[in-house]
Structure 1
Amino acid sequence: MKLEIERIEKAAEVLKGITRETKLIYSPVFSTESGNEIYLKPENLQLTGAFKIRGAYFKISCLTGEEKKRGLIASSAGNHAQGVALAAQMQGVRSTIVMPKTTPLIKVEATKNFGARVILEGDCYDDAYQEARRLEKKEDLVFIHPFDDYDVMAGQGTIGLEILDDLEDVHSIIVPIGGGGLISGIAAAVKARRPDVRIIGVEPDGARAMTDSIFKNKIQTLHKVDTIADGVAVKTPGSRPFSVIKDLVDEIITVSDAELMESFLLLLERHKLIAENSGVLSLAALHKLKVRGEKIVPVISGGNIDVVTISSMIDRGLVKRGRIFCFSAEMPDEPGQLLKISEILADENANIIKLDHNQFKTLDRFKQVLLEVTVETNGHEHVRKIIKALEKGGYSIERVY
C-alpha cells in the first residue's frame, strides 16, 4: 500500500466543512530576515490548535461500523490526542488517550474537554505508545497511530493541496518532523502535482531521529530526546513516513532550542500569533536556507502552549535577539560609582529593568562591591556599544546573559 494522491484528494473531500482551511499569511518580517518571500501556513489556527485533526478525522471516517463500536485508543504528546478526541466526539465514537506525564497541562485538559478518557504514562511519547498498545489488546480497542498510518498521513497531506491552491508558484515548503506523518503527507500531495517544489523537513538538534534514519537508510531509534519541542520529541520515526520521506523530501535541516525561542518571539511580536515550540521549527529553519528571492511556505504546525512556557520563551527569545542584556562588574565601594554607571547606560539609551548592588559577593567586601545590572536593549549591535562605553569608563564587564 502506498500514499497515493487519490487518497489525499479523498481526505480533502471528507474534511470539507470539518476543518478550517488556514489561508496563507504573507510575512514581511520573516521575508526580510531570510531574503525570501515567506508565506506562513498557520495550522496553529486550526481546530484544536494544530494540524492533527485532519489525519485523525479522516482515519476515523475510514473505520468500519464494528471498529467504531469497539472504541478508539491513541498515544500522543498532545496535539494528536486532541485531534483524535475531537474527531471521535464529532463522529460519536468513544476514545481513550495515553499521554506522557510530561505533557503540558493545557493539552491534557483540552483532551479531556473533548470527551476522551485520558491516561498519563511515562516520560516521553514512546512510553505512552507502549502503554496504549498494551491497553489496545487488553480492552479490544482500535489504535489510531499519530503518524505511521496511510490514512492519517493522507489527512495531513491536505495541507499540501491547500498550499498549492493558495500559492501556485511556490518554490519550497518547510515542514516540522516528529514521527514524519505531516511531512510525508504534504510531500506526497505536492510532489504528485508539482514535482519541482522542494520539500524541506526540520528537526530539533535534540530529537533528530529522521535525520539519522535517512543518513543510515534505515529506521533509527534515539537513546534519548532532549528538546523544548515536546510535540516532536519522538525516539523512533514511523516506517511508512520514512519510506515516503526518503523518496520525496529534498532536505532535512536541524535547529537548536535557542533558534526556536528566537523564532517564537518574532512570530508573537510581529504577527501576534502564538505557536508551540515544535510549531516554529519551520520558522527557525529559514535562517539556514541557501536560496534567496524564492517563495517559501513554512508550516506552523501547532499553537498549543501553556502561559508559563510562553513567558519563558519570551524571556529567552529576548536574550537571543539581543533585546535583554545582563552584566556584572566589580566597582569601588565609593559614593557616586552607581551614578556613574547609570549615566553611561543613560547616554547609550539602555533602559535599566533590574539592578543588584551587593558588597557581599566580592572577595574584599570592605573595598569592592559587585553590581549586576539587567537592561533593555535594541539588538546585538546596541549591546556591543554599551559594553564598549562601560569599558571606556573604566569598568571590567562580565556578561551574565
Structure 2
Amino acid sequence: MDAPAPTISPDAIREAAARLEGVVLKTPCLAAPRLSQLTGANVFVKYENMQPTASFKERGAYNKLVSLTAEERAGGVIAMSAGNHAQAVAYHSARLGISSVIVMPERTPFVKVAATEGHGARVVLAGETIAESAIACAEIASAEGRLLIHPYDDPRIVTGQGTIGFEMLAEVPDLDTIVVPIGGGGLIAGIATAAKSVKPEVEIIGVEAALFPSCHAALRGEVGKCGGSTIAEGIAVKTIGKVTLPIIAELVEDVILVDEPTLEWAVNAYLTLQKTMAEGAGAAGLAAMLAQPERFRGRNVGLVLCGGNIDPRIAASIMVRELTRAGRIISIESDYPDEPGLLARITSAIGGAGGNILEVTHNRLALTHLARETSIRLTIETRDDAHAERIVEAVRAAGLTVRLSEHVEGRF
C-alpha cells in the first residue's frame, strides 16, 4: 500500500522540526535597534544566513532528502536552483551519501557555483532563468533516472521551511508582523502555516522584486511581467508554485513589490548597520519596510534574513553606490588651462577643506576641450552634503570653475 501523500499542516511542520533537531541550526531571532531606528518599527531579525550554507534552504532540503526510500537514494537526486537550494541539496546529499546533480542558470554568481561544487555536487549551467534551467533539469533527470528535489513546489520542502515560523514566535511571541521574501513561495507558505496556527492575528507580508512579480500578479489572476537584472536573483522566479499559491492566497495579508535601488539600500543597511551579510533576496523584507515605512511604523516586525550568499563584488559595488547616493562620495570636474601647478591648486583646496581624494582623472587628449586645456575629474569622499558644499566652495574660492556630476547637481 502506498504511503499517503504528505500534507502542509502545523502538525507536519512540527514533525519536520523534530527531524531537523540537531541537524539544522536553530538560528537566533534578535532585536535590531539600528534597523528599528531606520524604519520606525521594532525590528527583529531571524538570521538564516548563519546556516552552514548561509540560507534557510537547508531546512526543506534535509526534510525532503531524509524521507527518500533506499531505492530513491541509490538513484541519486537532481535539483534546479539559482544557488541556495543548490547548496542545501548538495550539502545534505553528501551528508546522507546521495549523489547529486544541480542545474543552475548561466548567470548564477560564481560564489554560489563554487560553493555548490565544493559540497560535492555536479553542477550544470543551463538557461537564463530557473524556468529554463528546469527544462535541462528534467532532461538530465530522465536520462539518468534521478529524483527531482524541487526548490519550493513540494510539501516536504514547504514543511521544512515552515519550522522558521515556529522558531520566530517561540523567541519573540509579541511579533505583530512577519515579512518574508517570495520566490516560488515555499518559505512564506510554510511560515504562514506555522505562525498562524500559533498566533492567528499575526500579519504575514510577502515581498517580491518588482522585476519578478509572479506571486503579486497570480493573486490578482494576472500573469506577471517578469524579467530583468535583479540583485535578488534568489527570488527571481517567473512562476509561483502550484502547491504554495493557495496557501499564500489564504494566509498572507499582502505582497509588496520593491525596486532595485531599495533592495540595494537594504543590503547596505544590513552590512553597515547590522554588520551582517544579506544577499538581495535576504534583504527583501527590510526593503519592503524601507519602501513603505508607514505600514510598519510602531509594530513589532520579524524579518527573515533568508540568505547571505551575495557575490563579494556586488556587495562592494552596493556599498560604494550607497555612499554616492548619500552624498558621501562626489565627483567634480571641469576644463582648465593646461599650466604647471594647476592640479596642486585643486588638490590643496580640497585637502584644506578636509576632503579625501579617491581618484583623479587628468585628460589632455579629449576633443571636448581646447588644445591648450586639460580636463580634470576628481572623485572625493566627504562627510555629508554640508561638507561636500564646503569642498566645492573651497575649489571655487581658489579661482577654479567646477562642474558637478549628475548625482550631486541640485543637492546643494
TM-score by length of 1: 0.91
- Please state how far the C-alpha of 1:138 moved relative to its aligned partner: 2.6
Are 1:235 and 2:238 counterparts? Answer: yes
Match of 1:56 in 2: 61
Q: Please tell me whether the aligned partners of residues 264 and 317 of structure 1 are also in contact (alpha carbons under 8 angstroms).
A: no
CA distance in 2, matches of 1:117, 1:169: 44
The 8 Å contact of residues 39 and 290 in structure 2, kept in 1 or not, is answered as yes
Q: Distance in 2 between matches of 1:206 and 1:303?
A: 21
Q: Does 1:256 align with 2:259?
A: yes
Deviation at 1:57, TM superposition (A): 0.6
Deviates more, 1:369-378 or 1:63-72: 63-72
Instruction: Return the match for 1:68 from 46, 69, 73.
Output: 73
Q: Is the 8 A contact 1:102 1:123 kept in 2?
A: yes
SS in 2 for 1:81: helix
Look up the SS of the partner of 1:47 in the other structure: coil
Q: Kindly indicate whether residue 362 of structure 2 is the aligned counterpart of residue 357 of structure 1.
A: yes
| Gaps in structure 1 of 5+ consecutive residues | none
Report the Cα offset of residue 204 of structure 1: 1.5
Distance 2:50 2:299 in 1: 25
Match of 2:110 among 96, 105, 110: 105
2:276 is equivalent to residue 270 of structure 1:
no
SS of the equivalent of 2:333 reads strand
One-letter code aligned to 1:147: Y
From 213, 233, 240, the equivalent of 2:218 is: 213
For residue 401 of structure 2, the aligned residue among 391, 395, 400 is: 395
Question: Is 2:183–2:237's contact at 8 Å kept on the other side of the alignment?
Answer: yes
**CA displacement at 1:145 relative to structure 2:** 0.6
Q: 1:201 to 1:85 in 2, by over 3 A?
A: same
| Aligned equivalent of 2:285 | 282
Contact kept? 2:232, 2:280, Cα under 8 Å: yes
User: What does residue range 165-204 of structure 1 map to in structure 2 within 5 Å?
Assistant: 165-204=170-209
The size of the alignment, in residue pairs, is 399
**Residues in 1 aligned to 2:305 and 2:372: alpha-carbon distance in whole angstroms:** 55
Out of 138, 158, 162, the position equivalent to 1:157 is 162
Identity within the alignment, %: 37
1:46 to 42, 51, 58: 51
Instruction: Pick closer, same or farther for the CA change 1:377–1:266 going to 2, 3 Å.
Output: farther
CA RMSD of aligned residues (A): 2.4
Q: Is the 2:211–2:225 contact (alpha carbons within 8 Å) kept by the matching residues of 1?
A: no
Q: Distance in 2 between matches of 1:27 and 1:344?
A: 41
Q: Which amino acid aligns with 2:153?
A: D
- Alpha-carbon contact 1:58-1:152 (below 8 Å) kept: yes
- Residue by residue over 1:286-307, the C-alpha shift from the partner in whole angstroms, topping out at 9 and shown as x without a partner, is 2123132222121111111333
Q: Per the alignment, in what secondary structure is the counterpart of residue 360 of structure 1?
A: coil
Within the candidate set 345, 351, 367, 2:350 is matched to 345
Q: Quote the Cα distance in structure 2 between the aligned partners of 1:233 and 1:209.
A: 9
Q: Which residue of 1 aligns with 2:304?
A: 299
User: How many Å apart are 1:276 and its aligned residue?
Assistant: 1.8
Partner of 2:96: 91
Report if aligned partners of 1:258, 1:320 keep a CA contact under 8 Å in 2. Answer: no
TM, length-normalised to structure 2? 0.89
Indicate if the aligned counterparts of 1:174 and 1:298 stay in contact, CA closer than 8 A.
Answer: yes
SS of the equivalent of 2:93 reads: helix
Deviation at 1:5, TM superposition (A): 0.8
**What stretches of structure 2 of length at least 5 have no aligned partner?**
1-5, 408-412
CA contact (8 A) 2:211 2:226 kept: no
Shift in Å, 1:316: 2.2
2: CA distance, partners of 1:252 / 1:390: 49
> How far apart, CA to CA, are the structure 1 residues paired with 2:314 and 2:406?
22
| C-alpha deviation, 1:94, in angstroms | 2.1
Within 1, Cα distance between the matches of 2:390 and 2:218? Answer: 45
* 8 Å CA contact 2:182, 2:208 repeated in 1: yes
Q: CA deviation at 1:339?
A: 4.8
